[in-house]
Amino acid sequence: MGECSTDVGVDCRSCVAFRAPAIIVEAESFVGIFDDFLELLKAAPATENHIIASLDVLSLFTNVPVNRTIQLILDRVYICEDTKSLAIPEEHLRTLLEICNKEAPFTCPRGNLYRQIDSVAMGSPVGVLFANFFMGSIEATTLQDRRPSIYGSYADDIFIRVKDADELLNLKQRLTTSSRLRFTHEEATEGHLPFLDVMVSACNSGFKTTVYVKDANKGLCLNSNSECPERYTRSTINAYIRRALPLLLLEKRPLRA
């Protein structure tokens, strides 16, 4: 499966399971965009002598247990009283989810045809949904009794604030035990921690945020002298500005810690 790349399967975007908002986990820890993450920092209760850190799931998409996640989705849709059931039988939804995740065909450069039978299919439209649902379910169970003062996750990246390194390692072990996934962790260096594309700095008055640029990023994205429409160049610049401005403005009004 490692060398297979071309998806020739059925378009799962038209699948009811992909479009139905009822089956998406409403995990309170999920941060979908920059604004969600900034609001998470702003709403966090004040603490002293805590540390910020991040956890990363190793190879999340290739380790999502498909059968287990499908059952979690079905239980949420048809058993959970807080979720409105879909207007289709449970077995039909199960079949649709299995087709999208266990029947995905791929071709490789030699022309051989393969069928995905385990893990989330690469490039699958429901891949992110499955990953988020599985992680949301794991987090809901693991954090039920003990929850860090800050916990926010985006797919396989998790931002936390804990009392000390012992609590960090304990949380890492609890997540590993309940999910059987492998996690790595990174502690802040002198109060600074990169998370996604944001550099978070902890200070007495709260948090400061700036755009985080990796060392490998040389700043080259589009040659303005190349043969491309001017609107492409303007669009590229505008995208960077729209991403950076909300983060840079927070330097003038630090978030409460």
Averages of pLDDT over runs of 10 residues in the chain (257 residues) are 42 46 51 75 80 95 91 89 82 90 82 82 80 89 89 91 95 94 95 90 81 81 80 87 73 49
Parallel, antiparallel or unpaired: strands 183-187 and 113-115: unpaired
Question: Is residue 173 situated within a structural domain?
Answer: yes
Question: Is residue 1 situated within a structural domain?
Answer: no
* Structural contact between residues 150 and 160, judged by C-beta atoms closer than 8 angstroms: yes
Query: What is d(CA 173, CA 158) in angstroms, rounded to the nearest whole number?
Result: 14
Q: How far is CA 13 from CA 33, 94, 97, 123, 215, in A?
A: 22, 16, 12, 12, 37
Question: Is residue 255 situated within a structural domain?
Answer: no
Nearest Cα neighbor of 134 from 151, 153, 147 is 153
Nearest Cα neighbor of 61 from 19, 21, 101 is 101
pLDDT score, position 48 = 78
Which run of H or of E encompasses 140?
A: helix 127-142
DSSP state of 144: T
Question: Is residue 149 situated within a structural domain?
Answer: yes
pLDDT score, position 240 = 84
pLDDT score, position 174 = 95
Nearest Cα neighbor of 211 from 243, 242, 238, 257 is 243
pLDDT score, position 118 = 76
Question: Is residue 256 situated within a structural domain?
Answer: no
- Which pTM value belongs to this model? 0.77
Total domain count for the chain?
1
Question: Is residue 113 situated within a structural domain?
Answer: yes
The domain in which residue 174 lies consists of 6-249
For CA atoms 100, 15, 70, 121, the dihedral sign is positive
Nearest Cα neighbor of 185 from 211, 147, 159 is 159
Neighbours of 236 (CB within 10 A): 14
